């Protein structure tokens, strides 16, 4: 069942302006639904996923309504935070989206120097379901190392006994597949602080580049350039849960 809300509230929650500002926009005839201008700010609008195909604001399709899920190809050098200084992942999204309520947040975090697949959503329940240890979602990272592999990394990571410095609980088993002397794919189901970098530090190596290319069964598409994002739908979202660790 779709939720209905006042048009001015819908637009203001989507970041189009204050209630007063969007009321002016509506009264001036800039908001069109199914081919007709809606000029009453208090008109109740059913918030359905097809709304962007039916509503325009100043001749542009309405932004995606709440329940938005995005995949972003995160570049190195941007931070997954709403608060920190310096370039933030949110600066890669349209400016208006940064004023949305509920706000769009990253689903977990990648380090500033990690690149690759990052999900963002304004759906708090979904976010928690993805990051919950109970969901046991496998995340794959393409790792480039400073020194040649020792050869026992896969065995050490799979054992479920590896203890990271400063921690008192061993890591869950992880898989590692070498692709060259200094490169491989590691798949983990946890999300501890700097986990992959610390795993390689624990086996005497140093990660020089880290890129996430999979979350569950969802792969980072080759045609999504660094810094680009796109909205994902039900089918792709299902893939996230389709490949537990």
Nearer to ligand URA by Cβ, of 60 and 146: the residue is 146
Nearer to ligand URA by Cβ, of 31 and 110: the residue is 110
CB of 199 to ligand URA, least distance (A): 8
Q: HSE-up of 124 (CA within 13 Å, CB side)?
A: 3
41 binds ligand URA (CB under 6 A): no
Nearer to ligand URA by Cβ, of 10 and 174: the residue is 174
CB of 115 to ligand URA, least distance (A): 9
210 binds ligand URA (CB under 6 A): yes
CB of 241 to ligand URA, least distance (A): 20
CB under 8 Å to 203, separation ≥6 — which residues?
Answer: 150, 152, 153, 156
> Cα(105)–Cα(121) distance, rounded to whole angstroms?
6
Preceding omega of 102 cis (within 30 degrees of 0): yes
114 binds ligand URA (CB under 6 A): yes
105 phi, psi to nearest 5 deg = -130, 155
Smallest Cα–Cα separation from 12: which of 22, 4, 27? Answer: 22
Active site residue 59: no
Q: Which of 68, 107, 110, 117 binds ligand URA (CB under 6 A)?
A: 110
CB under 8 Å to 85, separation ≥6 — which residues?
Answer: none
80 binds ligand URA (CB under 6 A): no
Cα–Cα distances (Å) from 163 to 69, 150, 167, 176, 223, in that order, read 34, 18, 7, 17, 38
76 binds ligand URA (CB under 6 A): no
CB of 163 to ligand URA, least distance (A): 16
Task: Using CB under 6 A, count the residues that bind ligand URA.
Answer: 8
The active-site residue out of 8, 111, 213, 222 is 111
Nearer to ligand URA by Cβ, of 41 and 115: the residue is 115
Q: Name which of residues 168 to 207 contact ligand URA (CB under 6 A).
A: 194-197
Phi-psi region of 86 (alpha: psi -120 to 50; beta: other; left: phi over 0): left
Q: Would you call 192 helix, strand, or coil by DSSP? A: coil
Name the one range near ligand URA by CB under 6 A: 106-114, 129-137, 151-159, 226-234: 106-114
Strands 139-145, 229-231: pairing is unpaired
For binding to ligand URA (CB under 6 A), which residues are involved? 110-111, 114, 194-197, 210
Catalytic residue IDs: 111
């Amino acid at each position: 069942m779709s939720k209905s809300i006042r048009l001015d509230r819908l637009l203001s929650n989507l970041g189009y302006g204050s209630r007063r500002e969007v009321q002016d926009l509506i009264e001036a005839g800039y908001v069109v639904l199914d081919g007709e201008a809606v000029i009453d700010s208090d008109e109740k609008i059913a918030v359905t996923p097809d709304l962007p195909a039916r509503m325009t604001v100043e001749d542009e399709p309405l932004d995606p309504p709440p329940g938005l899920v995005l995949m972003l190809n995160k570049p190195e050098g941007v931070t997954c935070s709403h608060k920190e200084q310096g370039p933030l992942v949110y600066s890669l999204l349209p400016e208006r989206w940064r004023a949305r309520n509920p706000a769009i947040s990253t689903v977990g975090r990648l380090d500033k120097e990690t690149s690759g697949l990052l999900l963002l959503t304004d759906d708090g329940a979904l976010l928690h379901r993805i990051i919950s240890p109970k969901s046991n979602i496998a995340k794959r990272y393409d790792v480039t190392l400073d020194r040649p592999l020792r050869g026992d990394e896969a065995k050490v990571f799979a054992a479920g006994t590896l203890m990271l410095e400063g921690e008192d609980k061993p890591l869950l088993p992880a898989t590692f597949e070498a692709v060259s002397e200094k490169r491989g794919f590691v798949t983990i189901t946890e999300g501890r602080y700097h986990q992959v970098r610390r795993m390689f530090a624990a086996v005497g190596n140093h990660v020089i580049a880290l890129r996430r290319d999979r979350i569950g069964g969802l792969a980072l598409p080759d045609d999504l350039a660094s810094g680009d994002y796109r909205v994902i739908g039900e089918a792709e979202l299902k893939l996230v849960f389709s490949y537990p660790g």
